[in-house]
Amino acid sequence: MDYAVDYDVVIVGGGIHGIGVAQDAAASGYSVLVLEQYPLLAQGSSSKSSKLIHGGLRYLESGQFHLVYECLRERAILLRNAPHLVELVPFHIPVYATTQRRPWKIRLGMIIYSLFSGKRFYHINNKYWNKLDGLITEKLDAVFSYYDAQTDDARLTRSVAASAAELGAELITSATFEQAAVAENRVAVSYSVGGERKTVTASVLVNAAGAWVNSVLQKIVDRSGQQMKPMPVELVQGAHIVIEGQLSHPYYLESPQDGRAVFVVPWKDGIMVGTTEKHFQGDPARVEPTADEIAYLLEIYNHHFNKSLNPGDIQQAFAGLRVLPAGSAKASNKSRDTHLLLDDKASPRLVSIFGGKLTSYRSTSEKVLRLVRKSLPKRKPVAITRNLELPVVD
């Protein structure tokens, strides 16, 4: 029996995941409401990423082949559907005598990456090394070049939001989710907006609150009247700096301090360097780059390029939060897979999204919809996100 509800799907979170699910749900013919606590979309990690649409070359090292394959497939879809937002560019990897990852290892990674993506990689001949943006060539053994893509993460989110809105999704900003109660046939969702408290009902509630996912979860009461329990996760902060200057190519470097892979990429009118991995505790709204992180990133740049920079050259610094599985492993070795938690497998009314990648937001959204479809009424799909061009937005 169908119960009358205000919306088929209510989503908490106006980051790439919440917006991606809204687009997929609206394309599937469902009525959709998105609640975002900030006045603008993409104010959480979806504007604080490294802005790459990539498979993640370094995830091959930790054996995350399926993730890399899926992300490269999504990269190809985004290159087709949003050429104004996602650009394929050659990334350079210099290998020095001191680089921990030896040329054979990088070559092996590139072969796998090329097979997954269908794009070749290259060796840059040493006669061109002096044209590489002032890259230090002393003790340089090799330079590899491979293709990956850059985007503007916040604009990508706004573009997917515009697509979702065109398909009929309602998006409310400055609207804070307060609590929800799951019942057998619906979920009652309360939120505050403009000083007023409102309650709506939905067939399914999607918790896409990013680093706030557990705090939203704990404001939900399940069908037996129990408060939902948080999932054990670790919040790991990642900082970026934007410095003055120009680069002809992005670079993928190994940090001399700890061997981590770090990007130095052209970004708007400057150069962006990132990222770090630092355990975070506290209110996600207060995440900020620390002085140590800024010094670490500057040192990586200064180690690799002839031009020496100091903190005065920094135009901007920002930090975002990754939601990673709890446990003692180093953050760089932890799974980057997305975990989808259901309140009830047989008849789900609530799904919470833990972790994930900007790159794979579309396939993650498809998975979310697939998991909850049995709890939704029958509707006629109006589009398939795989084939939907994303609109141009400011």
Ligand X SMILES: Cc1cc2nc3c(=O)[nH]c(=O)nc-3n(C[C@H](O)[C@H](O)[C@H](O)COP(=O)(O)OP(=O)(O)OC[C@H]3O[C@@H](n4cnc5c(N)ncnc54)[C@H](O)[C@@H]3O)c2cc1C
The smaller minimum CB distance to ligand X, of residues 293 and 343, is found at 293
- 200 DSSP 8-state letter: E
Residue 293, phi-psi category: left (phi > 0), alpha (psi -120 to 50), beta (remainder): alpha
Nearest distance from residue 306's CB to ligand X, in Å? 27
Return residues touching ligand X (CB under 6 A): 12-18, 35-38, 43-46, 48-52, 176-177, 208-212, 216, 238, 275, 320-322, 353, 356-359
Least distance from ligand X to the Cβ atom of residue 122, Å: 22
Nearer to ligand X, 78 or 110 (CB): 78
Q: How far is the CB of 273 from ligand X (least distance, A)?
A: 12
Find the shortest distance in angstroms from Cβ 185 to ligand X. 24
Rounded Cα distance, 217 and 351, in Å: 10
Query: Minimum distance from CB of 193 to ligand X (Å)?
Result: 10
> What stretch of H or E contains 242?
strand 233-244
- Smallest gap from Cβ 213 to ligand X, in A, equals 8
Cβ closest to ligand X, residue 130 vs residue 281: 281
* CB of 40 vs ligand X, minimal distance in Å: 9
Three-state DSSP state, 280: strand
Cβ-based nearer residue to ligand X, 245 or 356: 356
Question: Whose Cβ is closer to ligand X: residue 238's or residue 270's?
Answer: 238
Q: How far is the CB of 20 from ligand X (least distance, A)?
A: 8
Residue whose token pair is 């309650």: 199
Under DSSP, the state recorded for 41 is S
In whole angstroms, the minimum distance from the beta carbon of 204 to ligand X comes to 17
List all residues 6 or more positions away from 185 whose beta carbon is below 8 Å from its beta carbon.
1, 3, 203
Residue closer to ligand X, measured from CB, 153 or 254? 153
Quickly count: other Cβ atoms within 10 Å of residue 370's Cβ.
Answer: 11
CB 209: neighbour CB atoms within 10 A?
28
Structure tokens at 329: 């492993």
Checking DSSP bridges between strand 233-244 and strand 261-267, what pairing results, if any? unpaired
CB 156 within 8 A of CB 358: yes
Rounded to a whole number of angstroms, the minimum distance from the CB of residue 292 to ligand X is 15
Nearer to ligand X, 137 or 190 (CB): 190
Whether the Cβ atoms of residue 375 and residue 7 lie closer than 8 Å to each other: no
User: Exposed/middle/buried for 291, CB within 10 Å: 0-12, 13-18, 19+?
Assistant: exposed
- DSSP conformation class of 305: B
Long-range Cβ pairs for the range 117-121 (8 Å, 24+):
117/55, 117/72, 117/75, 117/76, 117/147, 118/76, 119/88, 119/146, 119/147, 120/147, 121/145, 121/146, 121/147
Phi and psi angles of residue 139, each rounded to the nearest 5 degrees, phi first: 60, 25
For residue 201, the cross-strand partners are 188
Furthest C-alpha separation in the chain: 73
Cis before 201? omega within 30: no
